[in-house]
Amino acid sequence: MRVALVHDWLNQMGGAEAVLEALVEAFPGAPIYTSIYARDRMPSHYRSWEIHTTWLDAMPFIHRRHPLYLPFYPLAFDGLNLSGYDVVISNKSGFCHGVVTGASTVHLCYCLTPTRYVWAYEEYIAREGLPGPMRRLLRPLIALLRLWDRMAADRVDAFIAISREVARRIRKFYRRPSILLHPPVEVQRFHLSSRAEEYFLIVSRLIPYKRIDLAIEAFNRLRRPLVIVGDGRDRRRLERLAGPTITFLGRVPTEQLADLYARCRAFIFPGVEDFGIAPVEAMAAGRPVIAFAGGGALDTVVEGLTGVFFDAPTPESLAEAVRRFEDMRFDPRAIRCHAEQFDKRVFQEKIKKIAELAWEAARQGRDVEQVLLAEWGASLP
């Protein structure tokens, strides 16, 4: 089974790259096709991979300013013909599902989300603070990208959603069913601690849609200690909002992060995410999660067993959930056991089975999507 992997861009580390690393381990030797590759900004072990880029990789400043080339990514992926492979797996949050494949090639799209700034443009741009005139100028371009994105989805034989929230978006925007496979989490990196301290914890990139500001306002009112790990362009604004009980640590080493997870009183997850790996990492350390009741958290947090939800995206609702949490008791070992279903090894075993099943179905002339839905079940009724 000749497998190729497709990724949107390789110029920064994030959740998509964690998925790619797990895919590379699951399919050793599979080449990777991507729009751009900034070797100096990516881990050194990537240099041992077979990575192919598009003509976009030669464009000025693209490795550090890749959003400036937004209109050109569809053209770049349109130019990638991967018909020589049996199975193509696109790891998509942007436009990489638009690669061309032949009639005998199975294209599986592991969909992190339908392209966010195309399908949720107004919401996305409002949080980014783009001026009104620029928003209006971009709307015709976004309309064209939306049309291309919808048509490119028809090139995919079967969609795999990372959460029920993403499955709903696939159904709404692409009019396609999907099967569900949660993304990989390095559960074995985290450990239980015999003691928990009084601080609550956030681990996140500090950008507007993560809603760290909501948590800061809640903890300013609660006067409880909150530790925030991570960095981003919103950090300065958030630091101005923060009261004396809130501490910013920036980025921390892996070992220190594992210890912070293990000793926190609870993990705070205030935004709406496509999945949300950090809450699962906290649960791998046996710590409960206080999460907004939306997005991927609904797939990972179990009310009363591994955490509690708050229902409104307001400081008042989060503060009330924290107070309710303080009157509850949680079993760290039960929380850890729940997290193990999201372990990277589970993901790798399942994605290999999905690829083999899809390839065999195609060789038998059967409908790949229908076979996978019958075997795995649709991610939504």
pTM: 0.89
**What percent of the chain has a predicted confidence (pLDDT) above 70?**
96
- Of the two residues 289 and 380, the one the predictor is more confident about is 289
* Mean of pLDDT values over 201-219: 94
* Mean of pLDDT values over 239-245: 97
Residue 340 burial by Cβ neighbours in a 10 Å radius (0-12, 13-18, 19+): middle
**What does each C-alpha distance from 2 to 29, 259, 273, 321 come to in angstroms?**
10, 41, 33, 50
Confidence of residue 121 (pLDDT cuts 50, 70, 90): confident
* Mean of pLDDT values over 35-64: 94
- Of the two residues 12 and 83, the one the predictor is more confident about is 83
* Mean of pLDDT values over 61-73: 88
- What is the pLDDT, as a whole number, of residue 125? 66
* Mean of pLDDT values over 194-207: 93
pLDDT at 296 over 70: yes
Worst-scoring range by mean pLDDT, 26-40, 54-68, 165-179? 54-68
Order of all β-strands in the sheet with 307-310: 246-250, 226-229, 200-203, 266-269, 289-292, 307-310
- What is the pLDDT, as a whole number, of residue 66? 85
- What is the pLDDT, as a whole number, of residue 105? 96
What does pLDDT average to over the chain?
Answer: 93
* Mean of pLDDT values over 311-323: 97
The DSSP output letter for 376 is H
- What is the pLDDT, as a whole number, of residue 381? 64
- What is the pLDDT, as a whole number, of residue 126? 62
- What is the pLDDT, as a whole number, of residue 138? 79
Q: Are 63 and 41 in contact (CB under 8 A)?
A: yes
Structure tokens at 233: 């362009």
Q: Are 303 and 325 in contact (CB under 8 A)?
A: no
Confidence of residue 67 (pLDDT cuts 50, 70, 90): confident
- What is the pLDDT, as a whole number, of residue 346? 95
